[in-house]
Amino acid sequence: MAKILISDKLSPAAVAIFERRGLEVDFKPGLAPAELRAIIGNYDGLAVRSATKVTREVLDAAPKLRVVGRAGIGVDNVDVTSATARGVVVMNTPYGNAITTAEHAIAMMFALARQLPDASTSTKAGKWEKNRFMGVELFGKTLGLIGCGNIGSIVADRAVGLKMKVVAFDPFLSEKRAVELGVEKVELEELFSRADFLTLHTPLTEQTKNILSRENIAKLRRGVRIINCARGGLVDEAALYDALKSGHVAGAALDVFETEPATDSPLFALENVICTPHLGAATAEAQENVALQVADQMADFLLSGAVSNA
Ligand code: MLT
């Protein structure tokens, strides 16, 4: 019987699925790297979220391993090249947390527009600073989407519902799909010059790394507000800091950082910055969805060789 190790905090629903599908499963979240290396040799499948780092060393210690399942989208924590070289299939769940992440981006946009975190802190401190918190409306504003795939397209749909004008840069977006979504497909330079709000929804790749570089930030419309619930590394944080200080960028809402956990950053000192600790996928619904999906996908693969999202 194939054996699965779950090494991160996955919903108990995943354990139930593996067992129902006739697989043996051990639930051991929070293993230290050395502990993981010591036991991984016993397993055919490894199910993770983002905490477990599936490094070359882990894979070297796993001669039986056939599949790594990431309950979530990004596989940044898995050495995919080493896994592939060893014939280990790496699969993710690209749909399970898309709505939740899109909703976080929309929440961040509202929070930026109305300075909600600072207004709440101020009010709870007994101040009544009505004049300090003058906001801006979203209605009629242009939202620039960098990336219009699973998550970006949901953000677009919600933004269209808010009566925003949505322009999208995505080389994979067809004109037909853009029309269906009610967005205007544009080149990056045009998006930079038109966006009042700009939100990122791409993976971190060689092509997208630093897509908001110092040079590109300088091309943004003055007063733009930036939301990043995708990946740290898409935005040059030092350049963003300078642009926020100078007022060229009016505000930024960041859920992701170049280095995570981000416990210290010059950005934290800025009033016009809102931060959350990589909460994009953190809802009960999304975590249930990705756990169910990854368990079913891994079971399909181990029981019948069927591969989805690898
Ligand atoms: C993902 O890649 O699924 C999200 O960024 C959430 C996460 O890393 O847990």
Residue 164 located in a structural domain: yes
Residues 19 and 63 reside in one and the same domain: yes
69-100 exposure pattern, b = at least 16 Cβ within 10 A, e = fewer = bbbbbbbbbbbeebbeeeebbbbbbbebbbbb
User: Closest Cα to atom 6, ligand 1: which residue?
Assistant: 281
- The parent domain of residue 296 ranges over 3-96+284-304
CA of 188 to the centre of ligand 1 (A): 25
Q: How far is residue 228's CA from residue 240's CA, in Å, rounded to a whole number?
A: 12
In-domain check, residue 244: yes
Closest residue by CA, ligand 1 atom 8? 50
Write down how long the chain is.
Answer: 310
Task: Quote the pTM value.
Answer: 0.94
CA of 48 to the centre of ligand 1 (A): 11
Claim to verify: residue 104 and residue 183 sit in the same structural domain: yes
Q: Domain check: are 225 and 138 in the same one?
A: yes
pLDDT truncated to tens, each residue of the chain (310 aa)?
899 999 999 999 999 999 999 999 999 999 999 999 999 999 999 999 999 999 999 999 999 999 999 999 999 999 999 999 999 999 999 999 999 999 999 999 999 999 999 999 999 999 999 999 999 999 999 999 999 999 999 999 999 999 999 999 999 999 999 999 999 999 999 999 999 999 999 999 999 999 999 999 999 999 999 999 999 999 999 999 999 999 999 999 999 999 999 999 999 999 999 999 999 999 999 999 999 999 999 999 999 998 887 6
Domain identity same for 57 and 24: yes
Tell me the per-residue pLDDT of 99-111, one tens digit each, with 9 for 90 and over.
Answer: 999 999 999 999 9
Q: 234 with 177, same domain?
A: yes
* CATH code at position 137: 3.40.50.720
Distance, CA 63 to ligand 1 centroid (Å)?
27
- For residue 247, the CA-to-ligand 1 centroid distance in Å is 31
Catalytic annotation, pick one of 104, 194, 201, 278? 278
Q: Is residue 309 part of a domain?
A: no
Q: 117 preceded by cis ω (within 30°)?
A: no
The residue from 129, 180, 187, 260 that is catalytic is: 260
- Ligand 1: list residues with CB < 6 Å: 49-50, 72-74, 97, 280-281
Structural domain count, the chain: 2
Structural domain includes residue 14: yes
**Residue 310 pLDDT:** 64
ipTM of the complex: 0.93
Distances (CA, A) of 236 to 184, 217, 258, 305: 26, 9, 8, 42
In a domain, 141, yes or no: yes
Residue 84 shares a structural domain with residue 154: no
Token digits of residue 195: 């966006």
Alpha-carbon torsion, ordered 41, 287, 298, 31, to 10 deg? 0
Cα Dmax for the chain:
66
- Based on the residue annotation, tell me whether 278 is a catalytic residue of this protein: yes
Distance 122 CA to ligand 1 centre (A): 31
Residue 310 lies in a domain: no
Pocket mutation for ligand 1, best pick of 8, 48, 50, 75 (most atoms within 8 Å of C-beta):
50
Distance between CA 169 and CA 178 in Å, rounded? 10
Residue 201 annotated in active site: no
Q: Do 192 and 145 share a structural domain?
A: yes
List strands edge to edge, sheet with 197-200.
184-185, 165-169, 142-146, 197-200, 224-228, 249-254, 273-275
Q: Within 13 Å and on the Cβ side, how many CA atoms surround 58? A: 26
CA angle 210/216/220 to nearest 5° reads 130
Looking at the structure, do residues 227 and 105 belong to the same domain, yes or no? yes
194, 262: one domain: yes
Q: Which of 66, 70, 194, 231 is catalytic?
A: 231
| C-alpha distance from residue 289 to each of 3, 86, 142, 231, 309 (Å) | 22, 29, 32, 21, 15
104 tagged catalytic: no
The secondary structure of 126-167 as a DSSP string is T---TTT------TTPEEEEE--SHHHHHHHHHHHHTT-EEE
Same domain as 31, residue 166: no
Residues 105 and 63 in one domain: no
* Whole-number Å distance between alpha carbons of 224 and 242: 14
Task: For residues 221 and 251, give the distance between their C-alpha atoms in angstroms, rounded to a whole number.
Answer: 12
Tell me: do 296 and 236 sit in the same domain. Answer: no
Q: Which of 52, 70, 77, 97 gets mutated to test ligand 1 (max ligand atoms within 8 A of its CB)?
A: 97
Rounded to the nearest angstrom, the distance between the alpha carbon of 51 and the centre of ligand 1 is: 10
User: How far is residue 190's CA from residue 173's CA, in Å, rounded to a whole number?
Assistant: 16
